[in-house]
A and B are shown apart, each in its own frame.
Chain A
C-alpha cells in the first residue's frame, strides 16, 4: 500500500541555518503530496502542496519539489527562524487512499536563537 517515509527527528538547528527535511513516498499512480506543520498544542496546518510531477509548492519561505523519478518531496528553507520550531509531517493522497491522507511519522524541528 501507499506509504511515506520521512527523516527521523529531532532536528536542532541554529537560527538562519539551512533546513532540509527528507521525505520519500511509495504510491501507485500520481499522488498529491503535502507538508503539514503542527505548532505546540495545536492541530495540523497545511504548509504547502504539489499535485503533479515537477510542481514546486512554497509558503512562508519553505519549498518542496515533487520529484517523480526519485519519489521524493523534500522540505527546504534557506534561513530558519525560532518561530519555525514545530513538528513537520510529510503526507500523500493517492489512488488507493482516495479521500484519506497517508502521513509520515513527523519530524520535530527545534531552532535555537
Chain B
C-alpha cells in the first residue's frame, strides 16, 4: 500500500522560531508537493519538487523554503514562523504527469 508520512500531526511553535516539517514517501515518486489548507481558501501550493535537489515555487512561496536531499524526503522550512502561518500543511507525491497525487495525513501547525 502506498504511503506518505508526515513527521507530526500537531505542532505548536512560537513566533520567530525556525520550523521544519518533514514528509517521506515510500513509492519512489519523483514529484513531491507541499500545500497549505485554510478555511475558505482551499488548498494552495507552496512549493514542489520534481527531482532530488530540484524545487519550484508554487502559488504562495513567501516565508517558506524547501529541501530535497533524498528522493523519498521533502522538507518544508519556515525560516521565522509567524502567526499568519498557522495552518494545516499537507504533503503529497506523484509519479509522472496527469496522475493522482497521494497525500499524507497533514500537520496542523499553530504559531503563537
Contacts of B102 in A (CB 8 A): 46
Q: Are A42 and B100 in contact (CB under 8 A)?
A: no
**Minimum Cβ distance to chain A for residue B28 (Å):** 15
A33–B100 alpha-carbon span in the complex (Å) = 9
> Known contacts A99-B96, A103-B42, A105-B42: does B101 contact A42 (CB below 8 Å)?
no
A46–B4 alpha-carbon span in the complex (Å) = 13
Q: Are B101 and A101 in contact (CB under 8 A)?
A: yes
How many pairs of residues, A versus B, come closer than 8 Å at their CB atoms?
Answer: 52
Mask for B80-108, Cβ within 8 A of A = 1, else 0?
A: 00000000001010101111111111100
Q: Are A93 and B103 in contact (CB under 8 A)?
A: no
Question: Which A residues, 71 to 112, have Cβ-Cβ distances below 8 Å to chain B?
Answer: 89, 93-94, 98-101, 103-106
Q: How large is the interface on B (under 10, 10 to 19, 20 to 34, 35 or more residues)?
A: 20 to 34
Q: Are B106 and A43 in contact (CB under 8 A)?
A: yes
Contacts of B99 in A (CB 8 A): 32, 93, 99
Of the listed residues A42, A51, A99, A101, the one surrounded by the most CB atoms of chain B closer than 10 A to its CB is A99
Q: Are B90 and A44 in contact (CB under 8 A)?
A: yes
Chain B positions within 8 Å of A, measured between CB atoms, are 4, 31, 33, 42-43, 45, 48, 50, 90, 92, 94, 96-106
Mask for A30-69, Cβ within 8 A of B = 1, else 0?
A: 0110101000011111100101000000000000000000
Chain A positions within 8 Å of B, measured between CB atoms, are 31-32, 34, 36, 41-46, 49, 51, 89, 93-94, 98-101, 103-106
Q: Are B105 and A43 in contact (CB under 8 A)?
A: yes
Contacts of A44 in B (CB 8 A): 43, 90, 92, 103
Q: Are B90 and A99 in contact (CB under 8 A)?
A: no
**Minimum Cβ distance to chain A for residue B30 (Å):** 8
Q: List 18 A-B contacts (CB under 8 A).
A: A32-B98, A32-B100, A43-B90, A43-B105, A44-B43, A44-B90, A44-B103, A45-B103, A51-B98, A89-B43, A93-B97, A93-B98, A94-B98, A99-B97, A101-B94, A101-B101, A103-B42, A106-B43
